[in-house]
Structures are given as structure tokens and as C-alpha cells.
Amino acid sequence: MADATHSSEQLRLFIERIERLEEEKKAIADDIKLVYGEAKAEGFDPKTMRTVVRLRAMDKNDRQEQEALLDAYKAALGLAE
């Protein structure tokens, strides 16, 4: 078998593995959407839920720095609560 053919076959296999994994990833993304939908049906706000998921994923120090910076900008612009 020629090298070019070998190479094509190898490429095809890599591409197919990736496509299979992309399908799985999409399936999980769809599951996540479903859970947000369930939560919404129970009266929770998806937007705020996404915010807390993001906050929990952040390092505690990073989170505090972000919040401190935002507070500073709010104060500078008279947006303090």
C-alpha cells in the first residue's frame, strides 16, 4: 500500500474519532440545556443559575478580585448600591 493511501486512511480515522467525540459533546450540551429547562419549570431563574455556576467554578481569590474591581468602577461612576 502506498504511503499516500496509508496517510489518507490514517487521517480519515482521526477525523472520525473526532466527529464521534463531538457528537458526545453535543449530547451532553443538550442534557445541560434540559436541566436548565427543568429548573426553570420549578421557578428558578436560568440566567442567575448560570451566574452562580460560573462563580463556583472560579477561584475564590479571583472572584473576590473581580467583585472588588466592579465595586470600584461602580463607585467611580456613582452606581454604588
Partner DNA sequence: CCGCGGGAAAC
Partner DNA sequence: GTTTCCCGCGG
Residues lying near its own copies in the complex (CB under 8 A) are found at 3-4, 7-8, 10-12, 14-15, 17-19, 21-22, 24-25, 28-29, 31-32, 35-36, 38-39, 42, 44-45, 48-49, 51-53, 55-57, 64-81
Q: Which is nearer to DNA, 14 or 46 (CB)?
A: 46
Burial class (CB in 10 A: 0-12, 13-18, 19+), 1: exposed
Burial class (CB in 10 A: 0-12, 13-18, 19+), 49: middle
Half-sphere exposure of 23 (CA within 13 A, CB side): 6
Compute the least distance from the CB of residue 22 to DNA, in Å. Answer: 7
Compute the least distance from the CB of residue 2 to DNA, in Å. Answer: 27
Q: Residue 58 in 3-state DSSP?
A: coil
Q: Given the rule CB under 7 A, which of 5-13, 27-35, 73-81 is the region that contacts DNA?
A: 27-35
